[in-house]
Every structure is written in structure tokens, then in C-alpha cells.
Structure 1
Amino acid sequence: MEEILKAIENASIEIKKVIDKGDTSKSENENSTGDTQLKLDIASDIIIEKIFSTIPSIKAIVSEEQESIVPLHDNGEYLIAYDPLDGSSLVDVNLSVGSIYGIYKNEFNAKNIIAAVYVVFGPRIEMVVAQNNSVKMYRLHDGEFKFITDINLNEKGILNATGSTQMCWPTHHRKLLKEMFDDGYYLRYSGGMVPDLHQILLKGGGLFSYPGTADKPKGKLRQLFEVFPFALTYEFAGGAATDGFKRVLEVETTHIHDTTPCFFGSKDEIKRVKEVYKEYGK
């Protein structure tokens, strides 16, 4: 595992160079879910695959930017699903973006995720590692990632990050969020999954939501690359994650690019989500 974490550190340093100097225009390609790929996405994906290909313990990888699983080493122990540069369209307006990694064994599904890593590319480069039931943050300084702090969520938070297209929200979801704002929650939403979830973790708690909607009933966020890694991170930090009805890490995967509705937060907020969704039954 240590060599994988070091590989992610090295990839992050290279991706930062691409962000600083790279081309933020669109390519002529689309990813597996029909989104037009930015050249930054493709460049970041190439960096990560090249570095992972040198790590004997990695059996196979799958990227959000690619159609299928890429085998690497037959005798490898780990499977890695990753989003090379989540929120890359925000680079043009100089907002934070990030990379997300889910580390699995045996198969790519929720029950087999054993660790997660995400990296925030903002004013500072920070890496958060969830493994062995703990969450630790590291910061890039003088070319090295140095330990900063353990991350632990409070039972209840004050932030509310509201994802997806509001005009397509189900009525009960709209009601839930209005009641939370009426109760004094602060809106914090940049449009980037990594920085928004990172903020909730560092500020002690709150809710990030990306529900099923009229236009996307199964949500937009990908299970293997985005949802499961953050679900594990939030659980290890003392919080929780649900699809509205059950624990996210009990959601089944039928295809590597499956999506699911998802809510991440402190235990109090997740309890509140489940109560509302149970009442309305959808």
C-alpha cells in the first residue's frame, strides 16, 4: 500500500504541473458517460496510468475517462478505480479541483473497497488518505507530502452542499434542504465534488447531496470512482453515507461506470436524509 500512496503523490505533483501549464480546452473525445473530455482530463489520466503501470502490487486499474478495465500485473494484489481530475472544467475559473482514488481487492464493488485517497488542487495541494479506519491529511511542501492532521467529523455540522440540477429535484428533497437552511445551515457549493466534500470534512460536518432527479434518476456521480471512495472516507472519519435508503457501501455495482444517488455527511445529517426519504418512499 505504501508504494501506491507514493505513486499517487508522484502523480499529483505531475498533474499540478499540467494544471499550471496545460491546455484547458475541450478535446474531440467523450468519456464513457457522454461527457466531452477536456485535454486536462486526458493528460492527467495518462500520467496516472503510466505511474501505476510501474507498481507490481497493482493488478488492474479503471479510469472514469476510459471504457474498460486495464490489466497491469497478473500477480498484483490491488485494483484501483480513479477519477484523474474531477471538476476539471473549474480550472478555467481558477477554482479547486481534485483527483479521487478507490483501492479495492478481488473485484470492483463496494464491499471490496479497502482504502481511498483524494487530492485537492487548490491554493495548497492536500492529500487525504482513508485506511485502517482512520483519515489523515497531508500537504505538499517543498516537493514532499507531509502529515498535517487526523480528520474526524462531529455528530452534527452546519454546512450544506447541494448538488445536481435544482429544477429536477424531487419535492421531498427540496423540502429537506429548505428545512435545513431554515434551521441555520450555511450553503457551500463550488460545483466541485472534491473541494466541497473536503470542506465539510475539515469544518467538522454538514451534508453533501447529489440525489436522483427527474433527468438523472440514478444520479450522476460514479460509484467506483467517486461515490464509494468518499463513502469510505466519511465512514472512517466518523460520519456516514447513504443513497437515501441504505448505506452507500451496500449499493450493488453491475457495471464499472454505474452511478448512484448519494449523500455524505455527519451522522445527524444522514439520519435526517434517511428519515425524509423513508417517509416519501422514493
Structure 2
Amino acid sequence: MAAQTIATPKLAVRASAAPRRSAGATKKSAAKAPMRNVVVKGGGEYGASGTSFYTTTEKQESYDSLDAVLGAKCKDEEVKTVIREQLDACADITEALRSALVTVEGSANTFGDAQLSVDVIADQIMWDAVKSSAVVAWGASEEEPEVKPCNPNGRFTVCWDPLDGSSIVDNNWAVGTMIGIWSKESGTGADGLIGATGRDQVTALIAIYGPRTTVLVGLDDGVYEFSYGCTPDGCQLPDGTFEPWICSRKQIKINEDSKIFSPANMRAGAEVAGYKKLMDYYMDNKYTLRYSGGLVPDVYQQFTKNMGIFTNPTSDKSPAKLRLAFEASPFGLLVEAAGGKTSDGVTGGSVLDVQINAVDQRTALAIGSKNEVDRFNSMVLGK
């Protein structure tokens, strides 16, 4: 779909230091004020000052609302509905994270990993969202990888990792939610997942919960970012109503080249000579390391810095850990839609072309700037 000019009214944002969720658009009488936003510009090309990779995003006088962007950039009404529902769930998770302590729940998921209180809360919010939806037929969570029925009249199969980053959430580092959405007709079975590929997704959403909550969403003509809770009452429209979401960036692009690298599973470097060689290449050529150990922040930065490479190869002693349906496929859809590239870490082909044959199927992964994924394929896989 070609880019269109959104004719709906622009969004004026009120300033506040304590955002919280506004349940839908409600009338308020408060006056509008411009959004306060610090603009920090990066310096030049890659070099000593360039290693900071500051944002070059300029403040706007107004921002489009969620409804305005979905109205112009998403033709399918049911896809609009499921996007709104999943954004509502991300807003609820945001509020829960602001008050919930990170403690061991005393239970484990099906992989034997200890569940944290925040994992359980986020997962329940996601289940509540899909079970109450009129358009979701099936749901599956990484916490319990089994496709379960929701609404028999629904159209979509929704798979999610409710809170990626369990090993870093106790540090109060950024964590996130990954959501892949398929048509229930996509696969070979009734649930729309088994037999499907990541390329069959109708859309995907990636939420990151840091100082701000932002969500990447795949729409008809590319990847858009929506920011949550810019004021205590939401974001004020010219007619006086308030909404919780604004469109903070449009049609995001990932450059072909990068000087940022995020190397996961570095243990594999002891067994995979090509991976150690690749790490040496990054260091010899003065790439900047940006790695937190959370998949969401480590790949999400590719959309904010417009570059990056995340690598997670496998070896006999360091097998694949990333889940194809819950993690690699949603991110793969968005990265490729933004002009990036993915590798399945085995054949060198796109991870979006790997068939999902089991709900908890694992995969190796390289994802990000095109030329860097090509370098991974060449140096690590010999492709």
C-alpha cells in the first residue's frame, strides 16, 4: 500500500511527568499544551563521537492518533481490532510493571524455568485479552506452549511471549512483549500455526517497557511505532477527547550497514570458529557493543538507531533457545518490513520461511541490517 497523507486531525500532546492509562477516549476539559521533548542529535558518521548513536528524531508540533494511523494504513477492519486489543494488553502490562515486585512465583513454565510474579501477571493479561476477543480464535503463550481455543467464531491465532527478559527484569532493565498474529487458515491444522511460516503472519507487535512504553506494529505499508501514556489522562485530540496512544514514528527503516552489534550465545564461539572470527571482526573494526541479554531491547534498538545486528548461532553444546513462533517470527516480520534481513542460522535463508512444525520449536537467528546478516551468513555459515 502506497504511503498516504492522513487527513484526520493531528494530535496535540499535553505534558505530564506521571503517565497512566486512559480507558478509551473520554471528554476532558484541560487545555492543550505542546509536548516537552528533549532533542539530542548525533554527530556525523561513525567515529569517536558517533559511538554514542544519539537520536536524531526531531520534536513535532503534533502527532497522529492511533485511530488516524490505523484508518489510513490498515485496510482490514478485523486486523485493526486485534491490533487495538493487543495494544490495550500492552498498556495493562505497563501499569502492572509499575507496581509489581519482581519475586519468584513458586511455579515453573513447561521448560522448567522458574516463573516470576511479573511473568505470571503479564501472561494472564494476554490470556484475558485473547479470550475476551471476538476476532481471536486461538491463543498460545511461550509460558505454556500449547495452542488453546478462544472464540470459535474468531479469525486469528495469536502467539506471544508475555514478558521477554526474565533474567534482566530484576535489574529494572527494559523488557518487552512479542506478539505474532496469524490467520487461523494459515497452517495445515485448525489452529492456524502448525504448518505455517512466519511469513504467513498478518501482523506482529513488539512492545518495550522502559522509561517509556513503545510498541512496533506492522501495518500495510511498513512499521510504525506507537507511544503510550503521554499524559495522566491520555493524549488530547483537538475535539477535547483523550487517547492513550500516539504514533511516534512512521515507516521506520533499518539501514543496510551497521556499526552496532549484539552478540548472543557467545559460548558458541568456542565451538564455531566462524562466530569467533565474526566477533573479532566487530572488535577490529570498532563496532559498538549494545547488548543487554534481552531479545526485545537488543533487537528493538535496530528500529530506533536505524541499524544493528543481533546474532544467535548454535553449536552442539549451545543449542538453539529462541522460539520460532513466539520470538523469531514476530521480530523477523517487522525487521524485514523495515528493510532489514534475517537468517535462520543454518541454511542462511530467511527465518520467515522456516515452517513451524511444533509450538515450542527453536531456531538459531541472525537479524538486522542486510549487509551484516550477509556477513554472518558468509563468516559463520559459509553461505
Band the TM-score falls in, shorter-chain normalisation: over 0.9
The equivalent of 1:162 in structure 2 is 263
2:224 is the alignment partner of 1:136 = yes
Secondary structure of 1:155's match? coil
Match of 2:246 in 1: 146
Moved more, 234-243 or 67-76: 67-76
Q: How far is 1:166 from its partner? A: 2.5
Match for 2:168 among 90, 96, 102? 90
The structure in which a higher percent of residues are strand is 1
- 8 Å CA contact 2:277–2:379 kept in 1: the answer is no
Alignment TM-score, normalising by the size of structure 2 = 0.70
- Pairing partner for 2:110 from 29, 32, 49: 32
Match of 1:125 in 2: 213
After TM superposition, give the deviation of residue 277 of structure 1 in Å. 3.3
- In structure 1, the partner of 2:280 is 178
Gaps of 5+ in 2: 1-78, 186-191, 235-243
Whether contact under 8 Å (1:114, 1:131) holds in the other structure is no
* Pick aligned residue for 1:192 from 282, 294, 297: 294
Distance in 1 between residues matched to 2:102 and 2:166, nearest whole Å: 8
Q: CA RMSD in A?
A: 1.6
Distance in 2 between residues matched to 1:164 and 1:40, nearest whole Å: 25
Q: Aligned letter for 1:137? A: E
Same amino acid, percent of matched pairs? 29
Whole-Å Cα distance in 1 between the matches of residues 370 and 131 of structure 2? 38
Note if contact 1:99-1:118 (Cα within 8 Å) is conserved in structure 2. Answer: yes
| 2:369 matches 1:269 | no
Question: Of the candidates 340, 355, 358, which is equivalent to residue 255 of structure 1?
Answer: 358
Q: Does 1:208 align with 2:304?
A: no
Q: Secondary structure at the match of 1:189?
A: coil
Letter in 2 for 1:72: C
Against the structure 1 CA distance between its residues 118 and 47, is the aligned structure 2 distance closer, same or farther, given a 3 Å change threshold? same
Q: Which has the larger radius of gyration?
A: 2
Q: Which stretches of structure 1, 4 residues or longer, exceed 3 Å deviation after superposition? A: none
**Greater CA drift, 207-216 or 258-267:** 207-216
Deviation at 1:158, TM superposition (A): 1.1
Secondary structure of 1:201's counterpart equals: helix
Partner of 2:158: 80
More helix by share: 1
Contact 1:170/1:214 (8 A) holds in 2: no
* Cα distance in structure 2, aligned partners of 1:101 and 1:204: 21
> Do 1:32 and 1:257's aligned partners in 2 also have CA atoms closer than 8 Å?
no
Cα distance in 2 for partners of 1:133, 1:267 equals 19
SS for the counterpart of 2:314 is coil
Deviation at 1:181, TM superposition (A): 2.2
**Alignment-mate amino acid for residue 227 of structure 1:** A
TM-score by length of 1: 0.94
SS at match of 1:70: strand
